[in-house]
Structure 1
Amino acid sequence: MLSFLRQLFGRGRSERYFIAIDVGSNTAIRSLLFSEAAHDRISLQKQHFELPRRDTYADLVPLVDAHLRRILSQYVKGIRAVPTGIVIGLGSSFAVNDIRTVRRERPKPENAVEPEEIRGILDGFIATETERTINGEQHALAHLMPFRVTLDGYPIHAVSPTTAGRILEVQIFATYVPSALWARLAGLRALWGGMPIRFISDQAAIAAVVITLMNVPDAALIKIGARVTEVTLLADGGIPLTGRFARGGDDVTRAIAARLRMSDADAERIKRQLGATELPRDTLAAVTGVVTGEVEIWLANLVQFFKDNQRMILPDRVYLYGGGAGLALLRQRLAAKAWYHDLTFRDELGVMPLTAEDIPGLRFRNAVSPVRGPEEVALAALIHRADH
């Protein structure tokens, strides 16, 4: 069916079309349609859709499904072609990530490792871990990505005739989606007779580009979202820890709204403009006090997350991204040593924002990069994954 549609819509075209979609939080869906031809990448259309506020992700499932169907249909009709690749990234509001290390003892350690052995480990994981019950709810395996392979404890980056050993281990980043949502997402592949859609965790996509494109094997990646903060640790090109805690930018918005007795929408505008626009003195003092207090609560949650989950010292680099990373007061507080002195022996950590512009290779012939800022880091990473 795909070949028929390509003949119907794309006969005689040299361009290849790709779509990257970030379903990163319970507030927004960002997408980009782009083409590639003769080593040129061209941005064709970008969309940013704000989801209505809902208390639980289950209330958002039909809205997300309807919007994804609508934008995919719009893109396909607009280019009159079936895209070569479509990648949809899932944030922690809609997915649960898990790091698993699969260990296998090789019966003939003197023989060189074959690629089929690693593939067999991944296939075995898929066969046995397709479904899991998480917090009493059934989840389906949506994506897995191997990040680190070791042989007798030593990392290997490519197999060769001399790559031999007894114990083969593969570190796997697995992403699970609630089964009710997964049924809808998987159903998107049936659109237009069959769409080449891949699903991936936003955190996995970002970790991959930080390690491979930015050449940073050790770092802490912290995404401050609307309701959830996601944390991923990179160590020697692997991922020993990924997780989240329920604190984000919405808590700051609600605190401002309560203090100033205004709507959440007005409080959100003030939060986003803090430091960039002039406010009355009393209002500025009140907002600054509220934000400072919320930052301290968020920071206490971050430290507790590390204490509860950490199995290694913090890397010397900390990258902040997501909408909450735009708060200057938060960045200033993280620059102080006091919060991490119990977590590392290092005298200082390099705390810095991570923006979409920091991802190498995102060049478009017809425009400045269409993705920018700390809010679109995931979309930038997904663009890289879409055409690879």
Structure 2
Amino acid sequence: MKLSMVLDKIRALRKKVDTQADDYIVALDIGTEYIKALIANVQGEDIEIVGVGRAHQELGDMHQGAIADIAGVVRNCEEALGAAEEEAGLQAKRAVIGIAGELVKGVTNTIRYRRPQPDRPLDETEMEFIIEKVQDRAATKAQKQIALETGNDDVEVKLVNSALVSIHIDGYKVSNPIGFQGKDVAVQIYTAFAPMVHIGALEKVADELDLTLMAVAAEPFAVSRSVLGTDANSSFTAILADVGGGTTDIAVVNDGGVEGTKMFGIGGRSFTKTIATELAISYTQAEKLKINLDGEKIKPSVKEQIDAAINRTLEVWLSGVELALSEFDSVDQLPPRILLCGGGASLAPLVDALKKDDWYKDLPFTKRPSVQRISPHDVIGIVDTTEKASDHTYITAMGLLRVGYDTIIGASDAQTMRDRINRILRV
């Protein structure tokens, strides 16, 4: 059956499904290799996955984590969404889409604000003013960095995510600054910016799919939200690495706060391309060999060539990890554990290299970091009734569901000060 006929059937199915789905949200993880679609029911603090779909991307559809062919990506999204909607028995309209790529800049900025009236209790209006100053400073920095990397001084950027990291008043850390007196207020806020051209492509995809775009999320930020859940006082600390097909996205989380995110353009496809070049075979053949690396049918001589090709790419990838983590220069000590997700993390030599090589020696670790893949069971507050989002490759999509939940809560009455400040930060 031709692809066009399959897609026509999917579109017809999407028109038939129940559209009364106000309590449901869609997470679209548009990866370089695969698109993953999750449909979830949100009831209070409970997020329940009721539909899962996945579709393969063609080589030209994405470039280093960003959309290169909108029409191709829309077709693949329709396929993934159709499968998820068929399983869920409904069509959800509200969607959260992930964004990745080297031009997505996520940093934690600190602004110190000297209050003109230190004896007056701090209120929410003053906090909004302080936060606006932090975001303006972060936007200027992100625009300059992206302009430098693209060679385009007129590049436009847009805020995609913000989250409170910490607040100090006269040197003392507080969880709720409202009502405090004091002269010096230091606010740490994580912000992620992306070029408008990338945001526009995602908005076009959502429009073509007839989805209401609730939020766009930097994917490493989404991964951090998956393991943090709703606990405003979380002490969760780890390095999170999402190894996708085109990029590796890294987030450093300290005591429940995102210190920053870094991305570099080496992922699973880099390993496949090296194998294809070294063995003079097609990309498709190289991908099959990579996936079946431990298979008994691979000749020892061929396996030796594959191992050599993978090791060459691994050296470059580990250098990328080291460089990305070295840029967290505001962190005295890096977290002593690394949690992996994404399709690229399925490559066993990659995990082994992180565990055994000495790449970490020149970084501020107190000891060799422990390394493991994130399991869906590690995701806080999300239940998968389908049992299909069953491994580390679905963690980013599950994190996007959490961002969707955050967006819904941000529009309602928040219960804690951190919630209220994060509500101000919503975009």
| TM-score between both structures, scaled by the size of structure 2 | 0.74
- Quote the residue 1:378 is aligned against: 396
1:136 match: 151
Q: Distance in 1 between matches of 2:39 and 2:293?
A: 33
Which of 324, 330, 352 matches 1:332? 352
Q: Please, which of 354, 377, 386 is the counterpart of residue 357 of structure 1?
A: 377
Q: Which moved more, 1:98-107 or 1:245-254?
A: 98-107
Q: 2:424 — aligned with what?
A: none
The 2-side partners of 1:86 and 1:43 are apart by 14
Match of 2:27 in 1: 20
Distance change (3 Å), C-alpha of 1:184 and 1:74: farther
Q: CA deviation at 1:318?
A: 1.2
Does the Cα contact within 8 Å between 1:226 and 1:249 map onto a contact in 2? Answer: yes
**Which amino acid letter does the alignment assign opposite residue 151 of structure 2?**
G
- Cα shift at 1:285: 2.1
Structure 1 pair 182–349 and aligned structure 2 pair: CA distance change class (3 A):
closer
**Alignment match, 2:405:** 387
Task: Output the CA distance in 2 between the equivalents of 1:192 and 1:325.
Answer: 30
Q: Does 1:292 align with 2:311?
A: yes
Displacement, 1:178?
2.5
Q: Kindly provide the CA deviation profile for residues 95-119 of structure 1, in whole angstroms up to 9, marking residues without a partner as x.
A: 3334333332222223333233333
Q: How big is the shift at 1:301? A: 2.8
Alpha carbons of structure 1 residues 276 and 186: separation in structure 2 relative to 1, 3 Å = same
**Deviation of 1:120 (Å):** 2.9
Shift of 1:65: 5.5
Q: Determine helix, strand or coil for the equivalent of 2:122.
A: coil
- The alpha carbon displacement at 1:379 in A equals 0.6
> Are 2:26 and 1:45 equivalent residues in the alignment?
no
Equivalent residue runs for 1:82-97 within 5 Å: 83=93, 85-92=94-101, 95-97=104-106
With over 3 angstroms needed to count, the CA separation of the structure-2 counterparts of 1:147 and 1:258, relative to structure 1, is: same
| 1:145 is aligned to 2:156 | no
The answer to which of 149-158 and 249-258 deviates more is 149-158
SS at the partner of 2:119? Answer: coil
What's the offset of the Cα at 1:188?
6.6
Matching of residue 120 in structure 1 with residue 111 in structure 2: no
Q: 1:194, CA displacement in angstroms?
A: 8.4
Q: How many residues get paired?
A: 373
Partner deviation per Cα, 1:220-249 (whole Å, 9 max, x = no partner): 112222232222222233333321223222
SS at match of 2:68: helix
**Cα-Cα RMSD:** 3.6
2:26 alignment partner, SS class: strand
Mean Cα deviation higher: 133-142 or 119-128: 119-128
Task: Please state how far the C-alpha of 1:88 moved relative to its aligned partner.
Answer: 1.6
Give the corresponding residue for 2:343: 323
Q: Distance in 2 between matches of 1:375 and 1:49?
A: 13
What's 1:220 paired with? 239
Aligned residue type for 2:339: Y
Matches within 5 A, 1:1-388: 10=20, 16-23=23-30, 25-36=31-42, 43-54=49-60, 56=63, 57=66, 59-64=68-73, 83=93, 85-92=94-101, 95-124=104-133, 129=139, 132=143, 134=146, 135-137=150-152, 138-152=155-169, 153-161=171-179, 163-186=180-203, 195=212, 197-212=214-229, 215-275=234-294, 278-312=297-331, 313-336=333-356, 338-344=358-364, 346-364=366-384, 366-368=385-387, 370-388=388-406
Aligned equivalents of 1:189, 1:228: Cα separation in 2: 22
1:199 positional shift: 1.5
- CA-to-aligned-CA distance 1:327-365 (integer Å, 9 cap, x gap): 21121221126221221352332111123332122214x
Q: Judge conservation of contact 2:55–2:80 (CA < 8 Å) in 1.
A: no
Distance, in Å, in 2 between the alignment partners of 1:314 and 1:70 is 41
CA distance in 1, matches of 2:320, 2:256: 26
Asked if the contact 2:167–2:177 (Cα under 8 Å) also holds between the matched residues in 1, the reply is no
* Distance across 1 between alignment mates of 2:108 and 2:389: 29
1:119-145 CA-partner distances (Å, limit 9, x unpaired): 333445567749935233423314231
Inter-CA distance 68–197: structure 2 relative to 1 (3 Å threshold): farther
Q: Which amino acid is 1:219 matched to?
A: A
Matched letter for residue 339 of structure 1? W
**Unpaired runs of 5+ in structure 2?**
1-17, 407-427
Partner of 2:310: helix, strand, or coil?
helix
Distance, in Å, in 2 between the alignment partners of 1:147 and 1:222 is 21
SS of corresponding position for 1:170:
strand
Letter in 2 for 1:221: L
CA contact (8 A) 1:189 1:197 kept: no
Report what 2:413 is aligned to: none
Partner Cα separation in structure 1 for residue 123 and residue 347 of structure 2: 49
Deviation for aligned residue 1:268: 0.9
Whole-angstrom CA distance in 1 between matches of 2:242 and 2:122: 37
Q: Structure 1, residues 56-103: CA drift from partner, whole Å, max 9, x if none?
A: 4463345446666887799899967764x4222212267333433333
